[in-house]
Amino acid sequence: MALENVSSRELQSEKKADDSVEVDVTDSNDVDFVAYYEQAAGRLVVGPKQAKVEFGEVMASRLKLSPDGSKVLWPQPADDPNDPQNWTDFRKNMHLIIITMSAVVPDFDSAIGIASIFALAKTYETTSGVINDLTSNLGWGGIFWVMLMRRYGRLPVLFWSQLFALAFMIGATLAPNLATFAGMRCLSAFFGTCPQVTGLYVVTDIFPFHLQARKLNIWTSGFVVSPFLSPFVFGFLVARVSWRWAYAIGSIYNAIVLFLIVFFMEETMYDRRLISRPPRTSTGLRYRFETLIGITGYNIAKYRPRWPEVLLASLDVAWRPQFFLVVLFEAFVFGFSIGVNTTNVVFMGSPPPVGFGFSQYAIAGAYATPIATMPLYICGFLTLGAGIQNLSKAALIMGWGIAFVAITLNTVAVCESLI
């Protein structure tokens, strides 16, 4: 989850935000609204009345407002139909749905191993601990995808990453031995995690500032809920059929997401700083195909941040105390939820006195708890810890559910504050 926070800060680096630079708005005859949006992140003037005070009557009259006239639009949409800020609401929301479905993929695929942990251990003649380690590794690949997205655009990076994630997920489904399975799962996790950093970029690319928190809430729900969906759904399945069916259905979901990316998603990266845009070398289906596979992004990469800037972007933001403290906080909030999610199955499935000795059906049903309930972090984890220590079924279920809402709320708040 810390990778989503890294990507959000690098998003600001992409905008070249610098808190030490002031935007001169004293000259009411010449205000660069693109520069203002980049440099005033977090303190934007949203109200039209306040805009008159900030920029003067003349410049404020040039600002584009929301349809109801109550909000100033940031970034200011360009006079270009290709600007994603000018897309219709249907077109924007379709992209939000697709990127939210994509964000489900990495943790959903990873958590299939939770539902299959004991079956996998039996098939490959190893322990549940080994399987847990092999099926829960993902996340760090997000830093790599952020670099490529800033250079070549959102769509081609998302397409290729999900294509390879699907291929390696199929490989894990058919793996004949533990070594092959481990390799396929690691590679699937590396490529699959891309949507969990792409979403921040897409939301800020297509939605104005005053709507971003609301839309981020929807996108965040995808990867917050996804670790609990597959153990709940596939837990009942694995109790009756082979674990390979669970991974096969996961592969089918990946294929559906890839289909939606290929046929319905468009490039959302719009270079507002370019005074003269390079002409399109192709149109129609050919342009669509070249954009999807990355030819278009490669051709215009020379107008975007260069590799040294892209590679050093993470270091450029890591030194900021406010960033470090917020990421550390979110690492604990989200990290503990993932740790509990992957560990609880061992406690529930192991026989007493180590665990509860739940059946496969009972374990699957227990994973409905964090999906159906949501409300307070400290109370939830204290209750959960007491439940495990004392082998109390009621405390296990209640503590787990109560902690989940705080994780969701804090994740949304952190993502929004770092944009």
Peptide bond into 375 cis (omega under 30): no
Half-sphere exposure of 374 (CA within 13 A, CB side): 12
- The better pLDDT of the pair 222, 291 is held by 291
Residue scoring higher pLDDT (11 or 86): 86
The model's pLDDT over 141-152, given as tens digits with 9 standing for 90+, comes to 788 898 899 899
Q: Has residue 417 got a pLDDT over 80?
A: no
φ and ψ at residue 368, rounded to 5 degrees = -75, -15
Residues in contact with 166: Cβ distance below 8 Å, sequence separation at least 6, in sequence order: 251, 254, 255, 258
- The reported pLDDT for the residue numbered 378 is 52
Instruction: State how far the Cα of 269 lies from the Cα of 217, in Å rounded to an integer.
Output: 21
pLDDT at position 346 is 78
Q: How confident is the model at residue 403 (pLDDT cuts 50, 70, 90)?
A: low
pLDDT above 70 covers a percentage of the chain that reads: 77
Cβ count near 249 (within 10 Å): 16
Average pLDDT on 214-228 reads: 80
Is a pLDDT exceeding 90 seen at residue 130? no
Which one is predicted more confidently, 27 or 242?
Answer: 242
- Higher pLDDT residue, 10 or 323? 323
What sections of 265-392 are H helices per DSSP? 284-293, 295-300, 307-311, 313-318, 321-349, 360-366, 369-372, 377-390
Q: What's the rounded mean pLDDT across residues 301-327?
A: 78
Interior angle at CA 141, CA 213 and CA 290, nearest 5: 80
193 has pLDDT over 70: yes
Report whether pLDDT(221) > 70: yes
Percent of the chain scoring above 90 in pLDDT = 27
Q: How far apart are CA 257 and CA 68, in angstroms?
A: 34
pLDDT band at 315 (very low <50, low <70, confident <90, very high): confident
Query: How many CB atoms within 10 Å of residue 232?
Result: 21
Q: What per-residue confidence (pLDDT) applies to 194?
A: 92
* pLDDT given for residue 382 in this prediction: 59
Residue whose token pair is 């109801």: 68
Q: What is the mean pLDDT of residues 24-34?
A: 61
pLDDT score for 397: 72
| pLDDT at 140 (0 to 100) | 73
Residue 20 confidence (pLDDT) above 50: no
The partner residues of 72 in beta bridges, in order of sequence, read: 65
Residue 406 has what pLDDT? 57
Q: How confident is the model at residue 19 (pLDDT cuts 50, 70, 90)?
A: very low
Q: Quote the pLDDT of residue 258.
A: 97
CA nearest to 10, candidates 147, 141, 139? 147
| Spatial distance between the Cα atoms of 47 and 70, rounded to a whole number of angstroms | 7
Lowest mean pLDDT among 104-113, 167-176, 185-194, 344-353: 344-353
- Mean predicted lDDT score pLDDT of the chain: 79
* Residue 17 pLDDT exceeds 60: no
Q: Return the pLDDT at 184.
A: 93
Taking only the tens place, the pLDDT of each residue in 174-192 is 999 999 999 999 899 899 9
Tens digit of pLDDT for each residue in 42-75? 678 888 888 888 888 888 888 888 888 888 888 8
Mean pLDDT calculated for residue range 328-341: 73
For residue 374, pLDDT over 50 is answered with: no
The answer on pLDDT for 90 being more than 90 is: yes
Q: How confident is the model at residue 138 (pLDDT cuts 50, 70, 90)?
A: low
Q: How far is CA 296 from CA 17, 82, 118, 310, 412, in A?
A: 26, 14, 47, 19, 33
Q: Which amino acid belongs to residue 116?
A: S
Helix (H, G, I), strand (E, B) or coil at 219: helix
Separation CA 254–CA 217 (nearest Å): 22
State residue 225's pLDDT score.
79
**Maximum Cα–Cα distance for the chain, whole Å?**
76
Question: pLDDT value at position 304?
Answer: 85
- Give this prediction's pTM: 0.79
Span 270-280, average pLDDT? 75
Per the rule left: phi > 0, alpha: psi between -120 and 50, beta: everything else, 69 is: left
Residue bearing the bigger pLDDT, 7 or 136: 136
In which residue are the tokens 């005074």 written? Answer: 275
- Which of 34-43, 230-239, 407-416 holds the top average pLDDT? 230-239
Cα dihedral 279→284→288→290 (10° resolution):
-60
Query: Comparing 232-246, 286-300, 367-381, 382-396, which segment has the lowest mean pLDDT?
Result: 367-381
* Residue 65, beta-bridge partner list: 72
Kindly state the tokens that stand for 25: 């708005």
